[in-house]
Amino acid sequence: MTHHGKSSDPTQTTTQSGSEGTKNQRIAQANERERNVSPFLRFGPSREEIHHEWRNGSRIKVIIWFTMVSLLGWFLGQGISKVMVSGSIVPITVIKGAGHEFIPLPESLNATTADFHSIRTETESPAHITSGFYKIEAGPARDAHYTFEETKYVLSGQIDVLDEATGITHHLVAGDFAFFHVGAKVQFSTMSSGFAFYAVTRAMRTPHPNLQGREEGASRQ
């Protein structure tokens, strides 16, 4: 006898039911993990709370939540440099003996570069790049609180740097490298004398009195 109409397939029904059950189980597990997170580590509502509010018509509240999360990400990503300058002190980076390390040349080449430190600047854009020499002799310690980046390479003598973020005094000698981040606070001193080359992300402050107009190829009046 032929039966007309839709026939039920027990295999298909079981598959759909199992798939739906697996999906619900995954959602329940995710919600459970979110509920177990400390409130100090979680910002905003859980996934379950968002779904509940959305289903009950509180869509404006959900949009406000997502807006708050977006603003938090912006402040953490874009406004962090301002926080560091006005708030906590940032440790400096030191590489002892950087200038004494052997640099191998690539095969069949007689010159190469050897980058060993790089960051993304946190100063205004576009930023200045200024290079010069630093000279210090025995006397009172010189304070410096950085609102720009500086890379310093010691050429001769010794320069002592007290890093106020860590309390460590670094004794830099010829060949040593130091990098000062935005927010660093240090004290420079020496028992004898020290001489270094530096590059900074700020405009020129004190021109070298004996090097003005000495650039080769520069137009002369």
Q: What are the residue ranges spanned by the domains of the chain? A: 12-78, 93-200
pTM: 0.58
Query: What separation in angstroms does the CA of 210 have from each of 46, 136, 152, 157, 207?
Result: 65, 18, 21, 22, 9
Of 163, 185, 188, the closest CA to residue 85 belongs to 185
Of 68, 70, 65, 42, the closest CA to residue 54 belongs to 65
* DSSP conformational letter for 206: S
Give CA angle at 155 (111, 151), nearest 5°: 80
Contacts of 69 (CB under 8 A, 6+ apart): 43, 44
- Give me the tens of pLDDT residue by residue for the chain, a chain 221 residues long: 555 554 555 555 555 555 566 656 766 665 665 555 444 344 455 556 656 655 665 656 555 655 665 555 544 454 444 444 446 899 999 999 998 888 898 999 878 988 888 888 988 888 899 999 999 999 999 999 999 999 999 999 999 999 999 999 999 999 999 999 999 999 999 999 999 999 999 999 888 888 877 888 755 54
β-bridge mates for residue 128, sequence order? none
Q: Please tell me the class of the 93-200 domain.
A: mainly beta
